[in-house]
Amino acid sequence: MKFVDHNLAVKQGFWCYAGINLCPVKIVNHHRLYGTLDPTDPPEIALDQAKNCYYVLYHTPTDREFWRNGGVGLSLNEAVFIAKLKLGPTIQWSN
């Protein structure tokens, strides 16, 4: 997610990997909803859209250099829900 990695976090915290490793998680606001670029997908999924959205980004214990894409929501509440689905209920938000 090189286009959104450096955006300021609107929500951040830690999630617990394997019950013992604390790893960073953040949600960033962005102005573009990136598409799949797959020509077999419908245009509303395949093509990028100018739309306000919230990307979930996280680190793992083995890869703290790059943010991993945890999904995208069209609202902050939806992004928080997606983060819990992806990373589990152990997320502790600091803001």
pTM equals 0.89
Indicate if the pLDDT at residue 1 is higher than 60.
Answer: no
CA distance 43 to 37: 9
What's the pLDDT tens digit per position in 8-60? 899 999 999 888 899 999 999 999 998 989 999 999 899 999 999 999 999 99
pLDDT in tens, 49-80: 999 999 999 999 988 888 999 999 999 999 99
